């Protein structure tokens, strides 16, 4: 089994990478500014995807975890915030970046009879709309839609796609008041990824396995 996790330099991505490696799984991580043995990948840059694809050179991938993401609109106000540049940055990473990653590594997934896990958020649910965080919510709704449609298109090839809410996690993004640790999150997500199959493809679940309304 070979796992590749984007945005693995910190937070949830780093916790997932550590967990897989501790269990003996051949796991790789990426970062925009890699340190150690992390691979270089800027998910917003097509040339960076092409370079990663060349470096992997057809290596079969069993699980691709699209974790890299940003929350650009914290603290923005409806009256004066949410500038166009923030929208562009949010969607470039949270939506386009996910698509480009899957597209670039599709040959590796096919070779590995792999599956794809996309980290979205319950904030992308159409049924949950408490307001605020418009860019983050919209981008997570968009990547949910992307994942659902990819699940349909890739099912015939045996490639399952799951979309997941990691919980409110104690990371730089989640803050110190969050509900769960990155390790607990990684353990829960790892179980969800292991359970993902073509029969459950297109699922939208929390880290603890409970379903989220679309």
Question: Structure pTM?
Answer: 0.95
Q: Which residues contact 24 (CB under 8 A, 6 or more apart)?
A: none
Report yes or no on 188 lying in a domain. yes
Helix, strand, or coil (residue 10): coil
Report yes or no on 88 lying in a domain. yes
Distances, alpha carbon 127 to alpha carbons 130, 152, 214, in Å: 10, 22, 6
Q: Is the pLDDT of residue 182 over 80?
A: yes
Task: Tell me what pLDDT residue 175 has.
Answer: 65
**Containing structural domain, residue 162:** 2-206
Structure tokens at 167: 């919980």
Average pLDDT, the chain: 95
Q: Is the pLDDT of residue 168 over 80?
A: no
- CA–CA gap between residue 77 and residue 93 (Å, rounded): 22
CATH number of the CATH domain containing 50 = 3.40.50.720
- Helices 11-22 and 182-195 pack at an angle, to 10 degrees, of 60
Task: Tell me what pLDDT residue 170 has.
Answer: 65
14-28, 49-63, 171-185: least confident range: 171-185
pLDDT in tens, 71-112: 999 999 999 999 999 999 999 999 999 999 999 999 999 999
Q: Is the pLDDT of residue 135 over 90?
A: yes
Report yes or no on 202 lying in a domain. yes
Task: Tell me what pLDDT residue 179 has.
Answer: 75
Domain count, the chain: 1
Report yes or no on 214 lying in a domain. no
Structure tokens at 1: 């089994």
Report yes or no on 211 lying in a domain. no
Q: Is the pLDDT of residue 148 over 90?
A: yes
Task: Tell me what pLDDT residue 129 has.
Answer: 86
DSSP string, 130-196: ----HHHHHHHHHHHHHHHHHHHHHGGGT--EEEEE--SBSSTTT-TT-SB-HHHHHHHHHHHHHH-
Report yes or no on 47 lying in a domain. yes
Task: Tell me what pLDDT residue 75 has.
Answer: 92
Q: Which residues contact 36 (CB under 8 A, 6 or more apart)?
A: none
**Residue that has been written with the tokens 């730089």 in this structure:** 172
Task: Tell me what pLDDT residue 69 has.
Answer: 96
Report yes or no on 10 lying in a domain. yes
Helix, strand, or coil (residue 203): coil
Q: Is the pLDDT of residue 194 over 70?
A: yes
Report yes or no on 9 lying in a domain. yes
Q: Between 140 and 169, name the one with better pLDDT.
A: 140
């Amino acid at each position: 089994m070979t796992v590749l996790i984007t945005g693995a330099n910190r937070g949830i991505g780093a916790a997932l990478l550590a967990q897989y490696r501790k269990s003996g799984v051949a796991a790789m991580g990426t970062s925009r500014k890699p340190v150690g043995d992390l691979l270089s990948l800027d998910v917003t840059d097509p040339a960076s995807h092409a370079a990663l694809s060349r470096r992997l050179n057809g290596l079969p991938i069993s699980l691709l975890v699209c974790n890299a993401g940003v929350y650009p609109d914290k603290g923005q106000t409806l009256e004066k915030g949410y500038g166009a540049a923030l929208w562009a940055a949010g969607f470039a990473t949270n939506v386009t970046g996910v698509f480009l990653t899957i597209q670039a590594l599709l040959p590796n997934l096919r070779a590995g009879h792999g599956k794809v896990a996309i980290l979205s958020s319950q904030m992308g649910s159409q049924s949950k709309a408490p307001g605020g965080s418009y860019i983050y919510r919209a981008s997570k709704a968009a990547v949910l839609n992307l994942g659902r449609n990819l699940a349909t298109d890739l099912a015939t090839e045996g490639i399952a796609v799951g979309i997941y809410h990691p919980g409110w996690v104690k990371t730089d993004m989640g803050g110190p008041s969050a509900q769960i640790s990155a390790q607990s999150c990684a353990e829960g997500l790892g179980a969800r990824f292991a359970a993902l199959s073509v029969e459950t493809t297109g699922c939208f679940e929390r880290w603890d396995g409970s379903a989220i309304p679309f």
